[in-house]
Chains A and B, each alone.
Chain A
Amino acid sequence: MSWLDTVVQGVLLGGLYALFAAGLSLVFGIMRLVNLAHGDLIVLAAYLILVLVTALGLNPFVAALVAMPIMFAAGWALQRLVLNRTLGDDILPPLLVTFGLSIVIQNALLEGFSADSRRIYAGGIETASLAIGPVNVGVMPLLTLASAVLAIVALNQLFYRTSLGRAFRATSDDPVTAGLMGIRPNRIFAQATGVAMVVVTIAALYLGTRANFDPATGPSRLIYAFEAVIIGGLGSLWGTLAGGIIIGVAQTVGAAVNPEWQILAGHVAFLAVLLARPRGLFPRAVD
């Protein structure tokens, strides 16, 4: 395996991590809420897609499109009914509640789907590959990275080009003053979590088609997502993509040196970035 190949595979893997992280980054950026159940919500969405594929015989990509509005509604309701009540000056309640939510989701999935690991079959596209110059690139990894870039472009458009995006940024700056301007912070937060769940559904599509998953898969995905967000700088979506790619490349390079080093190398890269740039690569100017 050539080094070029290793790096390209790492960049593509980074696309998956960026997708895991984008929803987390969005929610944290807007409402300073660290969602410890984020990984489990991705797994939940993967099961939802799996059910749609097996029960209705849908293509996984179509199933993900169907799952998006369902997940948006679930995120909206979760924020409106549960998470909004935990937000305040104290950072502990949201951590405790989302930690509890993580356990609830894992056990509900265990009850409903057993501990067997599952996979969403996408009809052979998983094994397809393209030769780009000297490098062979899997179609699925390429689609993953493209989806990550598209999702981040779309989120940035939403943020900087729409009135909802202005309300997101205003509320994230100062929810009290936003209320004085006629904005309802609780509704804005609910919409933000809904949007984050749409991104979670995209992440779930690729999680479920590229690898096996089971009800306990969530927390390990959460770690990569966290690291990508922190490396990129809190609140910067392009930073999150960069963070995902750094972890992805570190993992494939680590694996190329010694297969046992794959996971370790990702975490070491995370620590190295934190040592050099404690606020991440692209921190917000004002915070």
Chain B
Amino acid sequence: MPILELDQVSKSFGAVPAAEAVSFAVEPGEALGIIGPNGAGKSTLFNLITGNIGVDSGRVLFGGEDVTRAPPMRRCLAGIGRTFQIPQPFQRLTVFENVLTAAMFGNRSSQAEVSGDCARILVDTGLVAHANVPAGKLTLLQRKRLELARALATGPKVLLLDEIAGGLTEAECGALVDLVRAINARGTAIVWIEHVLHALTSVVNRLVVLDFGRVIATGEPAAIMASRQVREIYLGIEV
């Protein structure tokens, strides 16, 4: 049974469709990539999955349960974690407090139960040296890492990553890919929106291509990237 399933999900903003009858499923432990040009509705799709935006029609299923009407907090507890394209840390909390808050409330656990996990996550994401810095003082790269750390701390079964590789150096990108792969290897399913295709395709085993809110192709990364339609959409973007 898929861990996450979208069934004919549609959403428009006024006359502009952001998602039109989008359907796809994510198997437990899978790594799925979502690509598409700017404005294709990729981030909106994440908002529909987390419940920050309600669907116009269609269903969102998580672990076989219909969560279409569930508030974001319930979906977080069920096991959906996400990062934002534009990092949104709790600025007046320290890095450690950000992760600790996510871990305690996201798992309904006590500080003693989660502090070990928090420390490990900070090490994994390379933030341990900044643990006691207010998140508002971090650089953009560090904020992106904190997004990932905080999402991990909620103990997700599915982790939604929204353009976390943009603006990184080659070495940083390589480290990030290793980290995402390690998270995936521990059994967390990944759904990753990314423009940095070489990073994406080195992790995911399936790609969904979105254009104007519609799924125009689904399949193995190599086959998708070879298709003419996708190449046209991505013309000018280095593969």
Residue-by-residue, is A129-156 near B (CB-CB < 8 Å gives 1, otherwise 0)? 0000000000000000000000000000
Check if B93 sits within 8 Å of A173, measured CB to CB.
Answer: yes
How many residue pairs, one in A and one in B, have C-beta atoms under 8 Å apart? 72
Q: In angstroms, how far is the closest chain B Cβ from the Cβ of A175?
A: 10
Check if A179 sits within 8 Å of B71, measured CB to CB.
Answer: yes
Check if B111 sits within 8 Å of A163, measured CB to CB.
Answer: yes
Question: How many angstroms between the C-alpha atoms of A57 and B17 in the bound complex?
Answer: 68
Question: How many angstroms between the C-alpha atoms of A184 and B73 in the bound complex?
Answer: 7
List 13 extra interface pairs beyond A181-B105, A183-B101, CB under 8 A. Answer: A166-B100, A166-B101, A173-B93, A177-B88, A178-B105, A180-B73, A181-B102, A181-B106, A181-B150, A181-B154, A182-B105, A284-B92, A286-B134
Check if A166 sits within 8 Å of B73, measured CB to CB.
Answer: no
A-B contact pairs, 7 of them (CB 8 A): A177-B84, A178-B90, A179-B73, A180-B154, A181-B150, A286-B92, A286-B136
Check if A179 sits within 8 Å of B90, measured CB to CB.
Answer: no
| Total chain B interface residues with beta-carbon distance under 8 A | 30
With a cutoff of 8 Å between Cβ atoms, the chain B residues found around residue A183 in the complex are 73, 101, 105
Check if B84 sits within 8 Å of A173, measured CB to CB.
Answer: no
Q: In angstroms, how far is the closest chain A Cβ from the Cβ of B164?
A: 16
Check if B52 sits within 8 Å of A180, measured CB to CB.
Answer: yes
Q: In this assembly, does B76 line the interface, its C-beta being within 8 Å of a C-beta of chain A?
A: yes
Q: In this assembly, does A167 line the interface, its C-beta being within 8 Å of a C-beta of chain B?
A: yes
- 5 nearest CB pairs, A to B: A182-B106, A182-B105, A173-B90, A181-B102, A179-B72
Check if B93 sits within 8 Å of A163, measured CB to CB.
Answer: no
8 A Cβ contacts from A166-197 to B: 166-167, 169-170, 172-174, 176-184
Which interface residue of A172, A177, A285, A286 has the most chain B CB atoms within 10 A? A177
